[in-house]
Structure 1
């Protein structure tokens, strides 16, 4: 947050006009996250409401909201401004919480946000929106500064405050991209932010299917399974901090694939819809692989050692002599 405030202070007036409202609107999400980091007593519901309040505040300050999704009946409903603002606040709050969900290993959340911001910046640049592209790259550069002290050895952590802040900024820049450039398909920013969205949606469905509370944490996130199935198996000779950090590159790949697809055809809704389905299928396939490998590794770890029930002749003779 201090890095972003400094970047805003030294930016051009046009950049300040874009960044300052975002930082002001981010205050509820950031402060509620910091309060949770300090007290561990802020409920999940309160933090979700705070991130949604940040989304609503940004609409008040910028006038931007989601009015197009590429889904005809939903677009017709979003023509009503109150519903558009509510939907925008919910989407922004959802992505902010999604980034917090994936903040489990060194460099995972910040690296994913950097990938998403870079994709949004490249799309804005392709559309000729230089000011928005500069803003995306500015936030990306500040995030990269944090990344350097977080990955691989974890000298500084995001905490809930940092995760909500970065998640909110990523979400709102995605909203701004389509608001300022209507020819960009709404599916393009969704793909740029796809990995945390996939993780959150799948987590909610998985917990409901298993009859668990959707907001209660567990150890079945994709990154947790990667640690068991891949880092714990193939990198066990490394130190614990390095094993922690080596989980993140596998998730970055899952974030980079849809982001690259978004950059390749930002105006083609049909192609981007197919790319979204293909990217989600890739996520599910990788989740199935690491989940299966994790279960197998747990079974091997808990299996009792095999007992030698037969003795060869020499062993039998030795046993009889001892007797």
Structure 2
């Protein structure tokens, strides 16, 4: 019976997404609310970017209605300590509303990244206020218990990092929604396994709405005016949701779930791809003395596109990479220490990065040779024309 409180809201979230998102697209086309086209963007046509407007209302309403019905009807014993868990969800909803408002403003008129950064720090502080913070590293770096004066700043930093990582990875159709959908599905399944039903409920509701959005974002291109982006409204609120789920799973709190030695590694394995990619990009910008927050085309999906992959192939490759890390870490923490698993994650990530760079450089070399051959053919054709018609003193400009 417990799985019904996951399955029914999950299906309703898919249905609501299928109903609401087309209306959002209709409004955006009528009001001409499109994502701007520039040199950094992959798309070269006008596409609305307010798809994320549907996420937070569906998440919050379905979560609240389901929990109230379960408690009123009392046909399932959720087995949670309400005074411990409910404040966390109340602060989650408050943070989602704040980011929702900032995101809509940014998608409509633009908001300075400094103000967005301030808002992200503000909502990150709501988690420790509700009693949710990283209090145990489970032996990672040979550290177990974290005192509050270390755990709270670490939690705030992690939340801001995750929000920005999810926001910056949103550069390819289906990529952000696919990665977050996979992460929510993995964490939701783990929460259900540990009988943390409300956390699992949030994860499955988020997965449901993302399935509907993924359809329009990826497959809407084949249908006229059926394609939409999530915008910052969607990416920031999804990042905040993922941060909440990951930190909740990583926290050593038996009121949420039973104790697990590999919790922190498993929790953040769903975020390895976006977080590692952002860390790599930021390091490269710092090393080259470039603005750290200036958008460019150095992210992983840009590399895959330059290597010759199609948009869908690049998107599926990155989602597959995220699934690999999730499965790898969930299995490996059962047999080896967290430190070794994290070390292997770094090694595998560097191996993947070097492989991507190899194919990108190979593609560049092939294009360079092709351009040289093309130029050579053009010169030879001009010379043949000179000989044939007796034209002299022709200056060839490259």
- TM (norm. structure 2) is 0.68
Say yes or no: does 1:134 pair with 2:204.
no
3-state SS of 1:277 partner: helix
Say yes or no: does 1:152 pair with 2:152.
no
Say yes or no: does 1:204 pair with 2:259.
no
Gaps of 5+ in 1: 232-242
| Matched-pair contact (CA < 8 Å) for 2:169–2:176 | yes
Equivalent residue, structure 2, for 1:87: 154
* Aligned-residue CA RMSD (Å): 3.1
Say yes or no: does 1:276 pair with 2:348.
no
3-state SS of 1:306 partner: helix
State the alpha-carbon separation in 2 of the partners of residues 258 and 91 from structure 1.
19
- State which of 163, 169, 173 in structure 1 corresponds to 2:235: 163
| Matched-pair contact (CA < 8 Å) for 1:188–1:262 | yes
Equivalent residue, structure 1, for 2:163: 96
* 191-200 or 122-131: bigger deviation: 122-131
Gaps of 5+ in 2: 1-55, 72-77, 79-84, 222-226, 393-398
- State which of 261, 278, 297 in structure 2 corresponds to 1:219: 297
Equivalent residue, structure 2, for 1:176: 248
Closer, same or farther: CA 184–22 of 1 in aligned 2, 3 Å? farther
| Matched-pair contact (CA < 8 Å) for 2:140–2:339 | no
State the alpha-carbon separation in 1 of the partners of residues 183 and 344 from structure 2.
16
Equivalent residue, structure 1, for 2:122: 53
For residues 14-93 of structure 1, the aligned pairs below 5 Å read: 17=86, 19-40=89-110, 42-61=111-130, 63-69=131-137, 70-72=139-141, 78-79=146-147, 81-93=148-160
Closer, same or farther: CA 188–108 of 1 in aligned 2, 3 Å? same
State the alpha-carbon separation in 2 of the partners of residues 251 and 46 from structure 1.
30
State the alpha-carbon separation in 1 of the partners of residues 351 and 192 from structure 2.
28
Closer, same or farther: CA 38–114 of 1 in aligned 2, 3 Å? same
State the alpha-carbon separation in 1 of the partners of residues 173 and 238 from structure 2.
15
| Matched-pair contact (CA < 8 Å) for 1:150–1:157 | yes
- State which of 260, 273, 280 in structure 2 corresponds to 1:195: 273
Per the TM alignment, residue 266 of structure 1 is displaced from its structure 2 partner at its CA by 4.8
| Matched-pair contact (CA < 8 Å) for 2:307–2:356 | no
3-state SS of 2:104 partner: helix
State the alpha-carbon separation in 1 of the partners of residues 198 and 333 from structure 2.
18
Equivalent residue, structure 1, for 2:26: none
Equivalent residue, structure 1, for 2:361: 292
State the alpha-carbon separation in 2 of the partners of residues 279 and 310 from structure 1.
48
For residues 244-259 of structure 1, the aligned pairs below 5 Å read: 244-259=311-326
Per the TM alignment, residue 260 of structure 1 is displaced from its structure 2 partner at its CA by 1.2
- Count matched residues: 304
* 268-277 or 250-259: bigger deviation: 268-277
State the alpha-carbon separation in 2 of the partners of residues 263 and 2 from structure 1.
32
Per the TM alignment, residue 19 of structure 1 is displaced from its structure 2 partner at its CA by 4.6
